[in-house]
């Protein structure tokens, strides 16, 4: 009859949706994201790696996400499979940096594609770097953006030229200092790297593939927490730039990037950085000069 709307069956809606002719009330809301915001999602994922907590990393992915990892032939199609992969990958204490990037943004989806490099530590504490290609597909659902698809693969030309060396590198266990937890107020260890943070202090190494903190040979930050500052209730976070020579020694005094607001805590953080053991940055398996940004937290516990 004239004036009545046609009845739209599920099949009709599906077909119209494919043709882009679904009425506005039947369409899903279109949410788009700024490129600068989308670029920060890799940093969030990288910080999840730095926590050395496979559960935190797995939470970056949707429950039906597909992970095609670099060092496994098995597609990871469930949260348990994704988590299991990162249990092994985090043993190498990876820290990543983006080398090249292309972003494609659309309704409820963002695609981040390019090349990245991971800095790793082997079982002997030697640093190395592994370059790869990546694709992250992020999807917006229910007010959150998470990874729907992640594909990572080794550089094919490098793999072809160094097949033997790459195979040997894959067989080596690793450890490293992407995130180091501080100790308890009395200076005793408050947790092993990758465990629960200590009550008094915490150190996180952030940024690109640069010098590594060697947590096994470095003092706990809590040992540098001034007793009188603690008694006064002073606490806060100090961000510094730490630069090392090719031998791992500091090439200049640690530079305060963001102050804690307490000159005494800032000085204590610099003292800790001077006392810490640093593994130099590497380029193509050779130690080089480099700088990294370090965040030191002095927390009352």
Domains of the chain: 35-170 (3.10.450.50), 179-298 (3.30.2420.10)
- Overall average pLDDT of the 204-220 stretch: 68
Positive or negative CA dihedral for 6, 11, 17, 18? negative
Give the model's confidence band at 12: pLDDT under 50 very low, under 70 low, under 90 confident, else very high: very low
Give the model's confidence band at 293: pLDDT under 50 very low, under 70 low, under 90 confident, else very high: confident
Whether the per-residue pLDDT at 137 is higher than 60: the answer is yes
Q: Write out the two tokens for 180.
A: 């180091």
Q: What is the pLDDT of residues 22-41, one digit of tens each?
A: 444 445 689 999 999 999 99
Note the pLDDT of residue 103.
93
pTM of model > 0.75: no
CA angle 228, 233, 239 (to 5 degrees): 90
- Alpha-carbon gap, residue 127 to 115, rounded angstroms: 20
- Per the CB < 8 A criterion, the answer to whether 272 and 224 are in contact is yes
In this structure, what DSSP letter does residue 280 have? Answer: P
Closest CA to 152 of 129, 166, 132: 132
Note the pLDDT of residue 122.
72
Residue-averaged pLDDT of the chain: 76
Whether the per-residue pLDDT at 179 is higher than 60: the answer is no
Greatest mean pLDDT range, 126-140, 148-162, 264-278: 264-278
Greatest mean pLDDT range, 121-135, 181-195, 220-234: 220-234
Give the model's confidence band at 201: pLDDT under 50 very low, under 70 low, under 90 confident, else very high: low
Note the pLDDT of residue 1.
43
Q: What would the DSSP string read from start to end of 208-233?
A: SS-PEE-GGGS--GGGGS-HHHHHTT
């Amino acid at each position: 009859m004239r004036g009545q709307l046609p009845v739209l069956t599920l099949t009709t809606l599906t077909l119209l949706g494919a043709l882009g002719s679904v009425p506005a009330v039947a369409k899903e809301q279109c949410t788009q994201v700024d490129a600068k915001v989308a670029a920060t999602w890799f940093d969030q994922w990288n910080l999840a790696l730095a926590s050395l907590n496979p559960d935190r990393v797995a939470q970056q992915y949707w429950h039906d996400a597909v992970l095609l990892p670099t060092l496994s032939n098995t597609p990871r199609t469930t949260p348990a499979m994704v988590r299991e992969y990162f249990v092994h990958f985090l043993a190498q204490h990876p820290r990543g940096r983006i080398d090249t990037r292309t972003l494609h943004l659309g309704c409820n989806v963002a695609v981040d594609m390019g090349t990245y490099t991971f800095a790793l530590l082997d079982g002997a504490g030697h640093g190395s770097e592994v370059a790869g290609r990546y694709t992250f597909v992020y999807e917006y659902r229910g007010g959150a953006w998470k990874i729907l698809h992640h594909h990572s693969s080794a550089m094919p030309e490098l793999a072809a030229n160094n097949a033997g060396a790459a195979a040997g590198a894959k067989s080596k266990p690793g450890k490293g200092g992407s995130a180091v937890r501080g100790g308890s107020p009395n200076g005793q260890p408050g947790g092993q790297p990758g465990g629960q943070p200590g009550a008094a202090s915490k150190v996180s190494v952030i940024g690109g593939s640069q010098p590594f903190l060697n947590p096994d040979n470095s003092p706990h930050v809590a040992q540098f927490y001034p007793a009188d500052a603690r008694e006064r209730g002073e606490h806060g976070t100090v961000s510094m730039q730490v630069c090392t020579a090719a031998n791992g020694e500091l090439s200049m005094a640690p530079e305060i990037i963001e102050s804690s607001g307490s000159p005494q805590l800032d000085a204590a953080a610099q003292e800790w950085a001077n006392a810490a053991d640093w593994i130099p940055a590497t380029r193509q398996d050779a130690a080089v000069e480099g700088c990294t940004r370090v965040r030191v937290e002095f927390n009352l516990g």
